[in-house]
Structure formats: C-alpha cells, structure tokens
Structure 1
C-alpha cells in the first residue's frame, strides 16, 4: 500500500508538469531531474516485479487488476516522456550552438558597421558634393562671360535691358557665395574680380543716369529761354522731369539696391560713392534750373515788400520756399529711392535756400524794433515746437526738414533781438536820467504817461494785462526803468535760448536796481520824505514780483579783464619805481602788473533781496525816528515827553499806514512793515526805559518822574491796538 500511494503521487506530478517543446532551457534542466526520478521509480518497479510474489487468495486478483493497468500505462508514458526529453536535450544543444554563432555574427557585424560608417559618411559627402558641383561651378563659370560682355559694352542704354539685370543678379549671387565659402581655392581672387564687375556695372548705371540728366537739362534749359510766365516755368521744371522719371527710376533703384543689400558692408562705401555722384549731378542740374526762379522771386519780394515790415517779408519767403522744398521732394522721389539720399537731399535744400538766408539777414540787420523782431521769432517758431526725437517731430519733418532749412533765419533774428534788447536796456534803463517827478510816481507829470504809452514795448505789455485794471494802474505808477525792464522781459520771454535770457534778465535786474538806487539818492539829496522811501520800496517789490514769473536762474557767471594792475605798473614805471626795486626784474613786474582775467559769479536774486532789506530798514528807521522825535533824547521833563510820545504814535502811525496803503497794495507786506516799525520803536523805547530806571535807582532821576513813564508792555499794547484798528478800518 505504501508503494501504491507513492506511485499515485508521482503519476499526478508527471501529469500536471508535462513538458512541451516550447519550454525554455531552464525547463529542460528541470525535466532532466524529473527523468532521473522516473528512472529511479522504474528500477524500483522492476524490483517489485522480479521479487517472489506470495500467493494471494484468488479473490484479490480482481482487486489489483486496475492498479496494474494504471502502472502499465504509467510505464508507457514514462517511456514516451523519456523520448521527448532526449529530443528536447538535442534541441537545447542545437539552440545553444545557434546562440553562440549568432553572438559571433553580431560581434562581427558591429565591427563591420563601425569600420564602414566613416566610409559611408565620406561617400555621402562626396555624393552631395558631386550633386552640387555643377551649381558651385556655375558661380565661377559665370565670371568669364560677364567680363567679356562688360568689356565690349559701349552703349549707355545697355543698363535698361533684362540681360544686364540678369548679369547683375549673377554677380550678386556669386559675391554672396564667395563670402560664405572663403575656404575655397582662389575664392579671394574670384571675389575681387566679381567686385570689379559689380563696380563696372554700377559705373555704367551711373553713366546712364548722368547722361540722361544732362540731356534732360539741355532740353529744359532751352525751353525756358524767354519764358516769363510762372505756370509755364513750373510745367517745364517739374512736368518735363516727371515724364522722364520712370526710366530713370528703374536704373537708380538697381543702383540703390546694390548700395543697401551688399553683404557685410565690404562694397557699401564704393557703391555709395557712385550713388552720391548721381545725387550730386541731379542736385547740380536742379540748382542751375531753379536759381533763376529763386532770384526772380527774391527780387520781386524785395520790390513789393520794400516798404513792408520784416515779418511780412519773412512770411512771404517762407511760403515760397516751403512750397519749393515740398515740390522738390515730390520730384526726387520719382527719380531716386528716398531711403539712401534723404540726408543729402536735405543738405542740398539748405544750400538751395542760402540766397534766402542772405537776403533775410540783410533785412534783419537793418531792423531796430524789438517788437518786430519778436514777431519774426514767433513766426519762425512754428518749425521748432517739438523735440527732434518726438513722434510729432517725425510726423512733421520726416521727409523735408524745414526746421534745418530755416534755422539760420531764426538764429539771425534771435541774435539781432538780443543785440537790440541790450541796446534798449542801455538806452532806456542804464542811461535813463531820473528826476524827482519820475521817481515819486504819484506826482508824475501827465506828459510822462504819454511818453510811456508811445513806447511800443511798454504799450504792448500794458495791453496784454489790460484785463486786470488794478494791475495796469499799479504798473503805470512804477518807476519808468522798472516798467520798461518788465515789459522787455515779458516780450522776449521764450524768444531766445533760456541761458541767454537768464543772463540778460540778470543784467536787467542789476541795472534796474542801480537806476532805482540812483534816483532814490537823487531825491534824498533834496528831501528825505516818507513818500520817496515808500516809492523806492514799492518799485523793488514790483520788480521782484514780475521777475519771479519768468523762472529765471539768477546766478550769472561773468568774465572780464582787470587792467588795474597794468595802471599801477605804468604809474610805477613813470615815477621810476623800477630802479628803486632793482632786485625785481622787469619781466616779473610786467607779469604782476599785467591785465588779469577775472571770473565772477553774481547772484541778482541776492542783490535784489539785499536791496529790499536795506529799503525796509531805512523806512523803518525813518518812521521810528519821526515818531520818537526828541522824546527820548534827554531825561528832562519825562512826563511831558512821555505824553508827547503817545500823541506822536497816535498821530503819525495812522498817517504812515495811510501812505503805505497808497504805495503798497499787498496787505501782508503792510502788516510786516508795521510789525517791523513796532519792533524797532519798542526796542528803542525799552532801551530808554531801562536807562531811566538805572538812573532812578542811582538817584539821578526822581522816582516820582520815573513812575510817570509808560511801561513797555503798555506801549506795546497801545501800538498793537492801534495797528489792528488801522487794518480793520482799511478792510
């Protein structure tokens, strides 16, 4: 029974793990183990069959027949499996041999591929080179036919043919190819030859353009002889040219394209020189044709505008030349591509307008009226409203730069305006002879107002502020040099360069202060009154107020030559001082006594502020002196003098305030002036009070008299109440 169960389990194992031909090599090894086990089982089974079998009862024979049949079947299958296993072993051996051979073949194949890869790449490169050889050689072979044709070309009309354009294209392609393949043999030699061909073609095109322009000029010049009508002249000067522009443009475009598209810029300068020669020939011919028209126009304007103002003369010329420049631009764009010759075109326009510059300069140098010069600057300023890098500027002057063409006109007018402004200052401010009536405005003679109204600059300035009646009257009451200076600065403001205006304004402020000071000193010599000091202060305040509106940089750098040392040297030389100082050489004395260049920085704002402070101080001192009188000069009769001081304060301060209201309209300034007078008055009285107190303590002054003096605080309250009531009454 044990053997039966073992055989049964073995049979089950064999049945569930039957090998197939498609198993892997590892499975074959497992079958070998199984085969060994089967052999062992077979040997044991044979031993069982050969061993003596005990007789069993016949009744058991039928019981083991099924087992014996199964065992017989198992043996048959074991035999079959043995055959299969042997076959699998053979196949496994064959597969192992095939794998080994395949490995050797793969190694050999890789070695072959590695050794032949470089050969394949070289072969591919050679095939590509062979395929492109004809194309490459075409760039070199094109040279000889082009050279032969260019050598035998004599007709200028050759450049208009399609074959010429085809040769140009071949030259461009060959030059581009040689630039990209500098490693080719003789590439540099061929490049130089193709460059010569390119320049030869460009010269041929330039020769055709020049010849066409000369022919056209001869026709137009001959047609213009004896023509006086403006319409006919325009038709010949422009319509005749436009009719020939198409043929000309096709050739000039080819030449311009060569100037713009040549690679690396190696040939750009040579081609551009040829193109500029064509532009120069065109400009020269147009100048010859236009000069008679320009001279005729200028002579006509000189005749018709001989009695008119400079402004109208400039305006008429601006209209003519603006239209002329625009017509020339419209014409040249039909002859040349505009991109390359834009700068040259605007330079030519500038030269074309030089007769205008000369004629206008002559008229400007004869103009003496500042108002006319200012109006001329305003007329020309429309070309200079925008910065050169702004979009508005590019939109306005992208093609014709009229601002550059008319810039000399503006400069001439501005220079003349600056000169005449300086002369105006010299005549009407520096050389003004002040009088008492001219300085004390409120007593001015009626004839003075008439004189000021006849001054164009002052009249224009007063008219510009006529909407403010109070300000007009206040300006009319100013000292004449102040009024004229403010009117001049107002008129030329933003008419000249800001630095020049600042420098001019600085000198005007300085000259006004000097003139005011001279007039004030003149009045003081005859009578030193409150009105004169208030008038002086008023003019300084008005000058400061008006000048502040111009945003002037007051600091001014001045440079001048000081000859004072030279004067001393000459005096020393005349008196024999050199012999006395024999130890010093003549050269040293000459160096020390020579003229010196002095650089000085003057601040007109500081000068004006200092003058205002001095004027306020002088006014304050004069009022305080008038109020105090002799009330604090001595210590006698203190009570009576104290009463007199109070009466003076109550009588004089209202009168001073009334005069201030008449001269100084600004309430805040009046308040500060009254406050300064009060402070000075209280300071003087406090010093007097302290002195009397010390003498009373020493017994020099009676204590009863001292006790009658007004306390300082009481005096302060009195003045404060009086000042407040004055301002309230005035309000």
Structure 2
C-alpha cells in the first residue's frame, strides 16, 4: 500500500524514498528475468553445439534437434516473457528488457543456424553443380522451410512480433543469394535463364510467398533481388542472342532448299497417307474386329496427324531465324517486365524480318522468283500469327534530336550572304538568332514491330500479285497501254487513227499476243497454284492472295474484248480468235 501511494501520489510524505526502493526492486526483478531467460537460451545453444548436430546422419536430423530442444524449453520462459510483453508498452524499462531478450534469442538462433545453413547450401551446390534450376529450386525450398520454422519457433517464445526476426532471416537468406548469384551471372543459355525466372517468379513468389506473406517476408525480399539479377542476365543474353543467332545467322544450304524440302516432306506425308488408306481398306474386309494394342493406336493416330498437317506448317520446317525468334519471345514474355519485353521484341522481330528478306533474295537467285516470294509471305504469315497471342504492345517510343534549326542558324552566321538584305542587320543579330532559335528540337516517334511485320507482308503480297499479273498478261497489258496512248494523243488534238491500220495492231499481230498470253495461262497457271498450295497450305489464304491476280487477268481480257468489238470487224475477230470470257473464267476456276 505504501509503495502504491508512493508511486501514484507524489504528494505523499515518503514518496521519493519509496519510489527509489520500487525502482530498485523492479530493476532486480527484471535482472532476474533477463538472467534466467538468457541463461536458458545460452545453455540450449551450448548443449546443441557440444552435440555437434552437423555430424548427425543427415541435415534433417540436425535441424530437427535444433527445433525440438528449443520448443521443449519454451514453456519454461514463456510465462516470464508474457509478463514482460504485457508491461512493455507502458513501462520503458520492460520495453528495453523485451528488446534485450529478443536480441539474445536471435543471437543464439544465428549461432546455431548459420553454420548449418552454410553447410546445407554447400552440399546442395555440390549435388547440383551442373543443374542450376535444380539448385535454385532446392535451395529456395530449403530457405522457405527455415523461415517458416523460425517464425513458428519464435511464436513458441513470444506473442508480440519484432522486425529483428525478419532481419535475421534475411541475413540467413542472403547466404543462399551469395552462393547463387555468381552462378547466375555466368549462365549463357536462354532456356536456363527463363526457367530460373519461372521458378523464382511462379513457384517461389506466387505459390509460396503470396500464401504466407508474414512468415516469408525476408525470403520475399531476397528472392525478388535474385529475380532481378536473373532478368538482367536474361535481357543481356537476349541482346547477344539476337546479334549472333538471328542477325548474324548464316544459312546452311539445307535452310534455303526451297521448294525441294517441302516437296520431299509432301511426298513422305502422301506415302504415309496411302499406307494408312491401305491399312484401313484391309481392315474393312475383316469380319472380326480385333482390339488394337495401345502402341498400335498411338502409331495410327500419329500417322493421321502427320498426314493432316502440311509440311509448310510444321514447326521444324520454319526458317531457323523465325523459329528462334518466336521461341525467344515465348520465353521472355512471362519472365520480364512488359516495357522491357516490348523493346526486345521490336529488336528481335526487326532482325528476323531482315534475315527473311535476305533469305528470300537468295532463294529467288537460286530457284525462281515465285519461290522466294512465297517463302517470304509464308514466314511473315507465321510471324504475324504466332505473335498475336502475346497480349503486349509491340510499339516502343524513340526520342531523337532534330538539329535542323541549329544547322540553319549556324549556317546564317558562317554565311551571312545567304540571308536576305532586309533581314541582315549585323553579326550580333545572327548570334542572337542562333541562341534564341538554334536550339535542337526533341522529337518523339514510335516503332511498332507488329505493324512492321504487317507492312512487309503487304509489300510482299503486292509484289507477288504484280509479278504474277505481269507474267500472265504482261504482253496483253502492254498492247492495251499502246492503244490507250494512241487514243489519248487523238483526244488531245493529234491525228485521227484507225487502229486496224497500225502495223502492231493488225489482227494477225493481236492473235499472236492473245495466243501467247493464253498459252502462258494454260501452261504456268497450274504450277503457280501448286506452288501456292505447297508453301501456304491454306485454301483461304491461297484464295485471298490469288484473287487480285485473277481479277487483273479478267479485267485485261474484258478490256481487250471491249476494244475488239469497237475497232474490228467480224472477219478480223475471226482472225484474232480471242478466247471468250467463259473460257478464261473456266481456266481460272481451277483454283
């Protein structure tokens, strides 16, 4: 009662004396609590250190011993620690005592755990020295268990959290990071780096950390730092890969063996289809349906799959730079930030397009023009189709300096005669104009690699349509152009003309033009359509691409028919013997 009055009533007569005695008792009690708790923790550490659990049969036994002993001792000090925690928010001395107990506990845990963790990480490294992905997966899984177990053990002793626990765990996790980082920065394969990103991002951060944010806060910070290192390495290696394996790719003769490789694959697919048809026909005459084995079912289904897919659509038949570009983008898409992916995709797609243009030129020189054009069209279609699932903006913003105004202002200073007299005052005005108006302009422009693919695809299709039109009705178009020029001259006041009197427009001459055009159509149209089927392997695409060519051919003959009806007699028409539109349409209807 006296102590109570002394503490809460400063006007009490013996207040200073009793307050002093109270503080002495409080200090002694807290010292006893601290001594008992510290001695208990230190004795545990000493006992476990003498046992040398690292010499146990395996690491699991060592860690089990660490946690079992501490959990068994927790109830002995838990009640005292609870008393301290209850008073820590109101009395500064208790708060200081609680911090000292925290520090002692964490120091003892660090003494025990650090050697064992380092030893375990060393063992994992030696076991997986050639498999970085397995090492990262096993090392991170080990640290996840350490963090979870340490939080659970901490809760056996304390009821209030402390930030120092996460500081200790982050320090322990950094021991794993210090071992893995030198290995990560020397990985050269994109497949390995992308898999490491997937492990850290999906398995560790999304699967583990998001489901246990509190216990894995320290692990989260270290894994994010490790993920940033892997992503940085991945971006660096991707730049090198684009330069060496896409831009610097030197095609082998087999890479450019078009259309030979497609024809060979087509023959193989056709032979497999014929064998399957023979097999089906032989089975149809059987009275008893025998049950197929699992292996036979797999073989027959695989044969049907191969026969149903065109060689041009097989992944292995793609031009190597296209395959490498798309595989590279697929690995990057889920591994790096969206903005970084956009920049790398623009660089990779631009490099791939240039490699396709180069390959197309070589094929046109070695084979035919149509082979080079269809090769380019097919692969640009593949690129456009394959990048569509990437839900990303393929446009990047580039900033450049426009020095035109600076150049013009400097030119006026160096060459004042170029300035009109009414603007030419003195040299000071020119210098002033240079300072005021000669500043460079900052210009922004966007580069969209997806639109770049579409643009090259459009140009290649237009080139194909123009070339095919020229091959089929080039002579006929040339004749119609001469007729048009002659009519234009007459309309503009030139001499009147009689087309049938022109040497180059005699019925016999026109017959030669018409017959040669018709022979070209009849002889070369099937091979053109066959090439389109071989390369494009899609009826809708073939129809869309050939439709403008067919329209151009029809329009040319329609113009010719209208001209002949207008300028020539019935006898001349018999000499010219121009095929009817029904014949032309029938010839073009092969498609």
TM-score by length of 1: 0.58
Q: Distance in 2 between matches of 1:552 and 1:710?
A: 59
1:485 aligns with 2:325: yes
State the structure with bigger RCO (CA 8 A, min sep 6), 1 or 2.
Answer: 2
Alpha-carbon RMSD across the aligned residues, in angstroms, is: 4.4
- The Cα shift of 1:228 comes to 3.8
Superposed CA offset, 1:578-637 (max 9, x none): 64465544994799587x765432222221112111111111111111111423423341
Query: What SS does structure 1 have at the residue aligned with 2:336?
Result: coil
- The Cα shift of 1:443 comes to 3.5
Q: Which residue of 1 aligns with 2:234?
A: 417
Confirm or deny: 8 A CA contact 2:473 2:517 kept in the other structure: yes
Q: Which of the numbers 266, 275, 283 marks the counterpart of 2:106? A: 283
Q: Which of the numbers 226, 243, 256 marks the counterpart of 2:85? A: 256
Q: Count the aligned residue pairs.
A: 501
Q: Which residue of 1 aligns with 2:349?
A: 509
Residues 236 and 669 (structure 1), Cα distance of their counterparts in 2 relative to 1, 3 Å cut = closer
Q: Which of the numbers 628, 646, 650 marks the counterpart of 2:518? A: 646
Query: What SS does structure 2 have at the residue aligned with 1:302?
Result: helix
Q: Which residue of 2 aligns with 1:494?
A: 334
Q: Which of the numbers 320, 323, 329 marks the counterpart of 2:151? A: 329
Confirm or deny: 8 A CA contact 1:441 1:477 kept in the other structure: no
Confirm or deny: 8 A CA contact 1:436 1:522 kept in the other structure: no
Q: Which residue of 2 aligns with 1:627?
A: 472
Q: Which residue of 2 aligns with 1:668?
A: 540
Confirm or deny: 8 A CA contact 2:310 2:537 kept in the other structure: no
Query: What SS does structure 2 have at the residue aligned with 1:422?
Result: helix
Q: Which residue of 2 aligns with 1:429?
A: 246
The answer to which of 610-619 and 145-154 deviates more is 145-154
Residues 234 and 532 (structure 1), Cα distance of their counterparts in 2 relative to 1, 3 Å cut = closer
Residues 231 and 367 (structure 1), Cα distance of their counterparts in 2 relative to 1, 3 Å cut = closer
Superposed CA offset, 1:467-505 (max 9, x none): 954377632222221111122233444233344334433
Q: Distance in 1 between matches of 2:51 and 2:438?
A: 72
Q: Which residue of 2 aligns with 1:358?
A: 178
Q: Which of the numbers 361, 369, 374 marks the counterpart of 1:529? A: 369
Q: Which residue of 2 aligns with 1:608?
A: 453
Q: Residues 145-544 of structure 1: matches in 2 within 5 Å?
A: 147-153=19-25, 156=28, 158-159=29-30, 211-212=38-39, 215-216=42-43, 219=46, 223=50, 228-229=55-56, 230=59, 233-234=62-63, 237-258=66-87, 275=98, 278-306=101-129, 308-337=130-159, 340-341=161-162, 344-380=164-200, 381-385=202-206, 393-394=210-211, 396-397=212-213, 399-401=215-217, 402-434=219-251, 438-443=255-260, 469=306, 470=309, 474-524=314-364, 529-544=369-384
Q: Distance in 2 between matches of 1:213 and 1:467?
A: 74
Residues 478 and 272 (structure 1), Cα distance of their counterparts in 2 relative to 1, 3 Å cut = farther
Residues 708 and 249 (structure 1), Cα distance of their counterparts in 2 relative to 1, 3 Å cut = farther
Residues 233 and 383 (structure 1), Cα distance of their counterparts in 2 relative to 1, 3 Å cut = closer
Q: Distance in 2 between matches of 1:649 and 1:386?
A: 64
Query: What SS does structure 2 have at the residue aligned with 1:441?
Result: coil
Confirm or deny: 8 A CA contact 2:136 2:180 kept in the other structure: yes
For structure 2, which runs of at least 5 residues remain unmatched after alignment?
264-301, 417-426, 480-504
Residues 678 and 417 (structure 1), Cα distance of their counterparts in 2 relative to 1, 3 Å cut = same
Residues 551 and 693 (structure 1), Cα distance of their counterparts in 2 relative to 1, 3 Å cut = farther
- The Cα shift of 1:677 comes to 1.0
Superposed CA offset, 1:179-216 (max 9, x none): xxxxxxxxxxxxxxxxxxxxxxxxx6995588447744
Q: Distance in 1 between matches of 2:228 and 2:434?
A: 46
Q: Distance in 2 between matches of 1:353 and 1:467?
A: 53
Residues 702 and 274 (structure 1), Cα distance of their counterparts in 2 relative to 1, 3 Å cut = farther
Query: What SS does structure 2 have at the residue aligned with 1:633?
Result: helix
Residues 502 and 301 (structure 1), Cα distance of their counterparts in 2 relative to 1, 3 Å cut = same
Residues 719 and 693 (structure 1), Cα distance of their counterparts in 2 relative to 1, 3 Å cut = closer
- The Cα shift of 1:365 comes to 0.9
- The Cα shift of 1:363 comes to 0.6
Confirm or deny: 8 A CA contact 2:190 2:237 kept in the other structure: yes
Query: What SS does structure 1 have at the residue aligned with 2:542?
Result: helix
Q: Residues 530-609 of structure 1: matches in 2 within 5 Å?
A: 530-559=370-399, 565=403, 579-580=414-415, 584-585=430-431, 588=434, 592=438, 599-609=444-454
Q: Distance in 1 between matches of 2:54 and 2:535?
A: 72
Query: What SS does structure 2 have at the residue aligned with 1:299?
Result: helix
Q: Distance in 1 between matches of 2:146 and 2:328?
A: 37
Confirm or deny: 8 A CA contact 2:77 2:157 kept in the other structure: yes
Q: Distance in 2 between matches of 1:298 and 1:549?
A: 40
Q: Distance in 1 between matches of 2:91 and 2:172?
A: 28
Residues 141 and 270 (structure 1), Cα distance of their counterparts in 2 relative to 1, 3 Å cut = closer
Confirm or deny: 8 A CA contact 2:181 2:229 kept in the other structure: yes
Residues 272 and 603 (structure 1), Cα distance of their counterparts in 2 relative to 1, 3 Å cut = farther
Query: What SS does structure 2 have at the residue aligned with 1:367?
Result: coil
- The Cα shift of 1:638 comes to 1.4
Residues 689 and 295 (structure 1), Cα distance of their counterparts in 2 relative to 1, 3 Å cut = same
Q: Distance in 1 between matches of 2:180 and 2:436?
A: 48
- The Cα shift of 1:441 comes to 3.4
Confirm or deny: 8 A CA contact 1:541 1:612 kept in the other structure: yes
Query: What SS does structure 2 have at the residue aligned with 1:406?
Result: helix
